[in-house]
Amino acid sequence: MPLTPAVRRRSSDDRSTIVVGLVAVLLVVLLAGLGGGTRTALGADASGLPSGDPSSEPSATPTPTPAATPTPGPTLLGASVTFFGRGYGHGVGMSQYGARGRALAGEDAATILAHYYRGATMGSIPSTTRIRVRVLYRYRATSSKPLVVYGRRGPWTVDRVAATFPADAVLRVIPSTSGATTTWRIRVPSSTGAVLYGGPKPASLVIRGANGTTRLELRSKSSTYDEYRGVLRVKTASTAPLATVINDVPLETYLRGVVPVEMSSAWPPAALEAQAIASRSYAARHLRPGVSYYDVVDTSAAQVYHGAKGEKATTNAIIRTSAGVVLRSGTSIANTLYHSAGGGGTENNENVYTSATGAKVAGAVSYLRGSMDRAPDGTSYDAASPYATWATRTYTVAQLSAWFGADPRTSVGTLTALDLRDRGVSGRLISVRLIGSGGTKKVSADIFRSVFNAGRPAADPMLRSTLFGTAPIP
């Protein structure tokens, strides 16, 4: 069980420029969502009325998080540079450590969510809602190393095969390639090696637990978190020995393998309930029936999902108490982005999901407004995070010049200055202009961060967020 929440959603260091742009556009496209469900007001604007649908017009700009003292121009670099920063992750939506701090201060889940998703409302989805999670992608099978699935703890079946197999029997999905064509067979031995079934793979290979106790172990997955409830659907290619596996499962069951992975199950119940509702909303928002063969992946590109082995009794109970509850904006399910630690404030979505040059390309989403995240005494609610404040090591300008010079997006010769004035409401950088002997280049803050992180020695601290400068940030 991780003690630190996974960094969320969509600000990983290896994200390419193309993905940055696509995500920015998707934030606009995804404003049209699912409808229906009852609602109660979660937050209100200054007039006392709940905010409506996501709009291109942002709500009132909140007081920004205190940032480093602004400079009248670019920051001239000395012989060496240290970057100081706050927070971990992209800074949009709910801060997980902030939610923990607010829960410890006595706030309930509804109050926590109302702060991070201003104007969103409580709604519901059917308890029968299912989700399709891609848990293995393009596994390359061979005759000696086939795709392998075990039935554990109870009996299991394969659609279109007239048999029920006992616990610990194993399904092997075996390819045979001739020229450009791959055909597949299945074979089911018992735990003692007796062959229970063998034959051509059904056109649609679907593996099901025969009762509620059965788990399906995807042995071919290179992770110890390889057991799943529900159904495993296996998609095989006809032109290559490649197999992809999707876990088709009730959404409430899926959350049992998500919430305690995204947030420690030992945290206060109000924070965990807020996480459960945010995770449910995020998942429901991304359902794609009729559009794709899966809805979400099981990594931090969506939400980290560890299946049945990730479940905890504490979070299972909290998920049950909030079953079906989602956040909505108007009739759409809210795109409830979240991250590990806000560093004292959260950011407007359009300031984070930008083009490669830092240009704003996403419309302002009404419930993804940045705001201060500090207690009345000024203490950051995420102060318990190990990355509430942080600093990199000190590097020479020659080192920085070499790292940024290795990427054509940031190559400006010998660095002489950085323009760090383009900041959002939380103090996060939107863009950075690099100034050097070979000219100037402007990139998004996240590209600057990614290039720095890729260049630095692997054991050195990274830039954890785009809330940073060359002096400590209060």
**In whole angstroms, what is the distance from residue 113 CA to residue 90 CA?**
18
- Cβ–Cβ < 8 Å for 90, 10: yes
Write down which residue in 203, 221, 240 finishes a domain.
Answer: 240
- What's the domain range around 409? 75-87+383-469
Answer whether residue 436 is part of any domain: yes
Q: Is residue 83 classed exposed, middle or buried when 0-12, 13-18 and 19+ CB atoms within 10 A define those classes?
A: buried
For residue 28, pLDDT over 60 is answered with no
**In whole angstroms, what is the distance from residue 169 CA to residue 150 CA?**
6
- Residue 25, Ramachandran bin (φ over 0: left; ψ between -120 and 50: alpha; else beta): alpha
pTM of the full structure: 0.85
Question: Can you tell me the mean pLDDT for 20-40?
Answer: 35
- For position 70, what pLDDT does the model report? 54
Answer whether residue 461 is part of any domain: yes
For residue 134, pLDDT over 60 is answered with yes
Write down which residue in 188, 215, 240 finishes a domain.
Answer: 240
Q: Which residue has the higher pLDDT, 295 or 36?
A: 295
- For position 16, what pLDDT does the model report? 39
For residue 373, pLDDT over 90 is answered with yes
**Residues 146, 235: one domain?**
yes
**Residues 158, 82: one domain?**
no
**393-435: pLDDT as tens digits:** 999 999 999 999 999 999 999 999 999 999 999 999 999 999 9
Nearest in space to 171 (alpha carbons), one of 198, 144, 153 = 198
Amino acid at 232: L
- Cβ–Cβ < 8 Å for 23, 8: no
**43-77: pLDDT as tens digits:** 333 222 222 222 223 333 334 444 444 557 999 99
- For position 23, what pLDDT does the model report? 37
**330-356: pLDDT as tens digits:** 999 999 999 999 999 999 999 999 999
- For position 72, what pLDDT does the model report? 72
Number of domains in the chain: 2
DSSP H or E run through 243: strand 242-250
Q: Which residue has the higher pLDDT, 388 or 53?
A: 388
**In whole angstroms, what is the distance from residue 401 CA to residue 307 CA?**
44
Answer whether residue 335 is part of any domain: no
Answer whether residue 197 is part of any domain: yes
Share of the chain above pLDDT 90, in %: 84
- For position 387, what pLDDT does the model report? 98
- Cβ–Cβ < 8 Å for 320, 76: no
Q: CB atoms < 10 A from the CB of 170, how many?
A: 18
- For position 24, what pLDDT does the model report? 39
**179-229: pLDDT as tens digits:** 999 999 999 999 999 999 999 999 999 999 999 999 999 999 999 999 999
Q: Which of 37-41, 194-198, 340-344, 439-443 has the lowest mean pLDDT?
A: 37-41
Answer whether residue 127 is part of any domain: no
Q: Which of 17-26, 231-240, 287-296, 297-306 has the lowest mean pLDDT?
A: 17-26
What distance, in Å, lies between the first and last C-alpha atoms of the chain? 32
Answer whether residue 148 is part of any domain: yes
Write down which residue in 197, 213, 240 finishes a domain.
Answer: 240
**259-286: pLDDT as tens digits:** 999 999 999 999 999 999 999 999 999 9
**Residues 79, 166: one domain?**
no
**In whole angstroms, what is the distance from residue 379 CA to residue 105 CA?**
12
Residues forming a β-bridge with 91: none
Q: At what angle do helices 109-116 and 96-104 cross, to 10 degrees?
A: 140
Q: Which residue in this structure is represented by tokens 């970057």?
A: 83
